[in-house]
Structure 1
Amino acid sequence: MWTIPNIITLIRVLLIPIFVAVYFLDWKWAHQAAAFIFWFAAITDWFDGYLARKLQQSTAFGAFLDPVADKLIVATALLLITDTYATAWITVPAILLLAREVYISALREWMGQKGLQDTVKVSFMGKAKTMAQMLALIGLLSEMQSFMGIPIYWVTLGYILLYFAAVLSLWSMVTYTIAAWPSLSKPESKQD
């Protein structure tokens, strides 16, 4: 259970309260520091999966904890940006992204119980959504529009990528639902 990839995933979970605490610190660069912590956590997500495959240290615990860690830190970041920006332009796509995560998690769990988890396995569209979502959150968390006087428009890019992620999120949700529909539409067999 205590493999290097699992320890890295656990560190990602432990970073969540630090990420939140730093975000709410009352100093000038607090949001940028929190965005850096979020970026670091996003990198560890890629790194732990890579190491699990490379070192052949894939475990059931890691397969469970990795997506939980991802959803926890992303949900936390989405809540933080809805609090900071306090506008429907951020809140609506954030709710869509959170709702999709809950829906897909439940769908995957149900399909897994039926032995059909491959029907709703992670697709390229899901990975593209995750990448857009992570970059959007980094930009929106940082609140940076310039760096050392040079315009970088992180927040503007964050808005655009948040909406792109929301669209991909809805699209992938529909795609997964269509793939699972034959199983979802079957009548449940009655037990004696």
Structure 2
Amino acid sequence: MFNLPTLLTWLRIVLIPMFIGIYYLPDKWLPPLDKNYLATGFFLLAAITDWLDGYLARKLKQTSAFGAFLDPVADKLMVAAALVMLVQLDRADAMFAVIIIGREITISALREWMAELGARKSVAVSYVGKLKTAAQMAAITALLFDAPLIPGIDTRFAGRALLVIAVILTLWSMVYYLRQAWPLMSGEENSTKS
């Protein structure tokens, strides 16, 4: 149960209150710009562990049912916490956060239900789901950073544009997964078997 990939997943969960807590430090302890840099660093470290734990689990053949359960939970907690913080900082639209978090809850519940029916592969991660995740991570990173990276490039504008793309991909992937699951949800699959 406790192997290197699972420990990296736990590290990602531990990093969540750390990158959120940075914004609650007094400005005289840590100036706002430094808060952005540090929070972005923690978020990027968490995102890297997301990729690394999956890679190591496959490479070292250390996959486990618990790790497969915990990994997406850590991902969703990380994204939801960052989005709520960005809404509070007035860097992200609350409606976008609701759409993204609502989709994550909906698809997680759908996957759980499909797994109980033995049809989890029907809602396995798709290419559009991977694009959605990449857009979300890029948008959140840019919005947390919130400072000019290259002269003339406004990271807040870029982050908000990426967040719009992430929301579009979020809705697209939700429709895709719901369509994949529709035969079981509507009972069509049972009627074709009988």
TM-score norm. by structure 2 comes to 0.90
Divergent runs of 4+, >4 A = none
Output the amino acid matched with 2:73: V
45, 52, 63: which is aligned to 2:50?
A: 45
Name the counterpart of 1:95: 98
Deviations 1:19-40 (A, max 9, x none): 1111322222112211110111
Output the amino acid matched with 1:163: V
1:136 paired to 2:135: no
Partners of 1:30 and 1:151 lie apart in 2 by 22
Q: Percent identity?
A: 47
SS, match of residue 89 in structure 2: helix
TM-score norm. by structure 1 comes to 0.91
Contact 1:129/1:169 (CA < 8 Å) preserved in 2? yes
SS, match of residue 92 in structure 1: helix
Report the CA distance between 1:90 and its aligned residue.
1.4
Correspondences of 1:141-180 after superposition (within 5 Å): 141-144=144-147, 146-147=148-149, 150-180=151-181
Q: CA RMSD in A?
A: 1.6
Name the counterpart of 1:61: 66
Report the CA distance between 1:142 and its aligned residue.
1.6
SS, match of residue 151 in structure 1: coil
Output the amino acid matched with 2:20: V
Contact 1:42/1:134 (CA < 8 Å) preserved in 2? yes
112, 125, 135: which is aligned to 1:122?
A: 125
Structure 1, unmatched stretches of 5+, are: none
